[in-house]
Amino acid sequence: MSLQELIDSASALSTDEVVTLAHSRDVVLPGKAGTMALITLDNGHDHTKPNTFGPKGLGSLNAALDAALARDEIVAIGVTGKPFILAAGADLTGVPKLADREQALALGKIGHGVLRKLVDGGKPSFAFVNGVALGGGLEVALHASYRTVSVAAGMLATPEVFLGLIPGWGGNFLLPNLIGADNAVKVVVENALNQNKMLSGPEAVKFGIGDVLLESADFLEQSLLWASKVLTGSVVVERPPVDRGEAWDAAVARGKAFADLKVSGAAPAPYRALELIAAARDNDRDRGFAAEDEALADLIMSEELRSGLYAFDLVNKRAKRPAGAPDKSLARPVSKVGVVGAGLMAGQLALLFARRLEVPVVLTDLDQERVDRGVGYVHGEIDKLLAKGRVRSDKANQLKALVTGSVDKSVFADADFVIEAVFEELQLKKTIFADLEKIIRPDAILATNTSSLSVTEMAADLEHPERVVGFHFFNPVAVLPLLEIIRADRTDDASLATAFAVGKTLKKSCVLVKDAPAFVVNRLLTRFLGEVSAAVDEGTPIPDADRALAALGLPMPPFVLLQLVGLPVALHVAETMNRAYPDRFAVSSNLAKVVAAGKSSFYVWPEGKPVVDPEVEELVSVGDKPSTPDELRNRVLTALAEEIMIMLDEGVVAEAQDIDLCLLLGAGWPFHLGGITPYLDRTGIAEKVNGSRFLPQGLASLI
C-alpha cells in the first residue's frame, strides 16, 4: 500500500477530528537565504488541548510537506508549534480499536513515512521546538536536519515505555545516532520509567537533542535568523561524534539493569526499546525504522498496552469525575481550615491546604513546642519551594502568613473545615471531635485522616454526625495524588460535596469509599503484606520472598515497603484488620516480635543493598515449609483477587475501576501493569478465584 493509501485507511478507522493540523506559509528568510515553507502545527484549540497526531493530522502534515517539497523556490522546510506546544505525540485514543496487527503496523509506517520526508525530501529541514515535545512530537524534531530549542520549552520526552509502548516513529534509531546510546537510554528508558521525567529546553540542548538554545521572547524570529545563517554557511553546526564502541553496549546493559530494577521483566516495552537502541548502532535507517514498526505493532496488540492505556484513561478521566460524588452545588465554601495535630501528616496537610486553598490554616497540638515545630516545618517547606523557584518570594511570604499555630482550640471557632491528624487511636479521635463540637459551628466539616479506624464510630456520639467525613491522604502528601474520601453511615450530601470540592481544589484525585476497615489501599496492602509475612513465618527466607514478589514489577519489594510504612504502623493496621476479618488477616508473630524489639526494619543497608539484620535473624522463628517463588506469587495474587471481590460485594467502592485508581495513585501500582484488576484478569487469577473477570474482556470498551 502507498503511504497515502495507508493514511486513508487509518483515517477511516480513526476518531481523530483534526483534519488540518499542519498550516504552511512562506517566510522570506533574512540575509537573502531564500524562502522557507514554515509549517505550524496547530489543532485550532488553546493550550489545554495539545496538538496530537492522529492519522488525519499526519495526513495533513504529509500534504503540507509534499506541497513544499514540490516547489523549487522553497529552499528549506521549518516546523514549529502553536504557543507553548510543538506536539504531545500520537493520538492514542484509537489504539484500542485497532483490530489486527496489520492496522497496528500501519500506524508506525505512516509516522515513519511522513516524518522521514523531512530528511529524504531533498531540502534542509528545521524544527523550531517552542514548547512541549512529547513522544511523536519530539520525533518530528529528531527527523529534521537541525533543531532550535526555546529556553522556555519544557516537557521534552519520549514517555512511551512508561505506558507500555516504544517511541515508534524513529526515536529508538535517531536518538542514539544523534546523542549517543548513553543519553538515548537515559531519555527513552530511564527517564520514562523514572516517573516519566522530562527534559527542559536547556537540558535538551545539553543532551545534544537541540543544536541551539534561543530566548523565548522572540523565539521564532531568532530561529529563522539562525536557520538563514545555517543555510548561507555563516553558522556551521558541529555535533560531538557519537561513541560507537563499548560505551554503546555499556549503555544498553545499564538500561537493562535499570529496567530490571523498575519492572523486573514484567513489562515488555523498555526491553523492546533497548533492543532497538542496541541494533541502531549497526542498522541503517530503513532497517532501524522497519524494526521499530514491528516492535510497535507487537506492543500495540499486547494486553499490556491496553492495560496501560486503561490506567492512563482512568487517571485522566475517572479520577476527574469521581463516581458517586454528590452534586457539587451542595458544597459549602471553605475560607478557614483547622488542623488538629502538628505531626508528620498534619504539617504536610497544613502546607497543602495553604498552597491550594489559599485560606488561613491554623494548627494545634498538645503543647506549644509541638505547635512551633509543626508551623516551623511548614515555613521551612515554603522556604524550600522558594529556593527551588516553585513559588515567588511575595507568594512565599503570603503562604507563611496563612499558616499559624495555637495550643488553644478556640481558634477553630470560625473554621469551616477542621481535619484531625492525631495518633491513630479511636478513643482519642472521638474525644477530640467531641471537644471540637463545643467550639466549631454546627455546619463546619469535621474530617479525619485516619488510616484504618471507623469514621462512623468516630462520629457516633456527636450532636452533628452528618458533618463527619474521612479524608485519607497518603504519605508523602505532596507526591501521592490519591485522596480516599470516606462516607460514614450518617455523613450528609452537603458535607460530602464539600469534601469533594476541597479535594478537587487540593488537586487530589478523589475516590469515594465506604466506611470499611482500612478503606481501599491500606486494606489491600495489609492483605498483601500479611500473606508475604505468613509465608516467611512458615519458612520462606525474607530475601527470597522479596525477590519472588519483585518479579511482579511492583515499585518495591514487600519488606522494603514494610520499612517505608513503618513496622509499628503496619502491625497496628494488621491488628485492626485481624479484629475485623480474623479469617483473612493474620498478625505475623515475627512482625510483632521485631516491633516489640524496637526495630525499624527487617533489613540493614550496608552499601545501599538490603541484608537481613542479624539481630532480626536471631529474633524471628521460621517454620520448615518455604514457598517457591511461584507458590508465593500465586498465594499473594489469589488473596488480592479474593479481597477485591469481597470489597466489591461489600460496596466499598462503586466499581473495580476505583480499586485500580486507588492502587495506581496511592500505592504506586505501576501504570505498565495497568491497574490491579486488569492484571488479575490477564493472568487468569481473577477467573480462577471468582469464576469471572473483574472487567469486560479486552478493556477496549472502557476507554
Q: Which residues bind ligand NAD (CB under 6 A)?
A: 340-346, 364-366, 370, 421-424, 428, 432, 449-451, 473-475
Select 124 or 374, whichever has its Cβ closest to ligand NAD.
Answer: 374
Q: CB of 619: closest distance to ligand NAD in angstroms? A: 25
Q: CB of 647: closest distance to ligand NAD in angstroms? A: 19
Cis peptide before 476 (omega within 30 of 0): yes
How large is the angle between the packed helices 101-115 and 285-300, nearest 10 degrees? 140
Burial of 67 (0-12, 13-18, 19+ CB in 10 A): middle
Select 169 or 474, whichever has its Cβ closest to ligand NAD.
Answer: 474
Q: CB of 272: closest distance to ligand NAD in angstroms? A: 37
CB nearest ligand NAD: which residue?
Answer: 343
Q: CB of 673: closest distance to ligand NAD in angstroms? A: 24
Q: CB of 425: closest distance to ligand NAD in angstroms? A: 8
Q: CB of 605: closest distance to ligand NAD in angstroms? A: 20
88, 137 contact by CB (below 8 A): yes
589, 574 contact by CB (below 8 A): no
Separation CA 116–CA 137 (nearest Å): 14
Select 229 or 356, whichever has its Cβ closest to ligand NAD.
Answer: 356
β partners of residue 134: 157
Select 202 or 343, whichever has its Cβ closest to ligand NAD.
Answer: 343
Q: CB of 665: closest distance to ligand NAD in angstroms? A: 14
Separation CA 646–CA 518 (nearest Å): 14
151, 215 contact by CB (below 8 A): yes
Q: CB of 342: closest distance to ligand NAD in angstroms? A: 5
CA 490 to chain centre: 34
Select 19 or 366, whichever has its Cβ closest to ligand NAD.
Answer: 366
Select 258 or 473, whichever has its Cβ closest to ligand NAD.
Answer: 473
* DSSP notation for 332-368: PP---EEEE--SHHHHHHHHHHHHHH-S-EEEE-SSH
Select 49 or 579, whichever has its Cβ closest to ligand NAD.
Answer: 579
| Three-state SS letters, 681-692 | HHCCHHHHHHCC
Select 138 or 342, whichever has its Cβ closest to ligand NAD.
Answer: 342
Half-sphere exposure of 118 (CA within 13 A, CB side): 26
Q: What is the DSSP letter of 628?
A: P
φ and ψ at residue 47, rounded to 5 degrees: -70, -10
Select 453 or 645, whichever has its Cβ closest to ligand NAD.
Answer: 453
Q: CB of 237: closest distance to ligand NAD in angstroms? A: 52
Written as nine digits, the cell of 96 is: 484500542
**Nearest residue to 297 (alpha-carbon basis) of 118, 95, 161:** 95
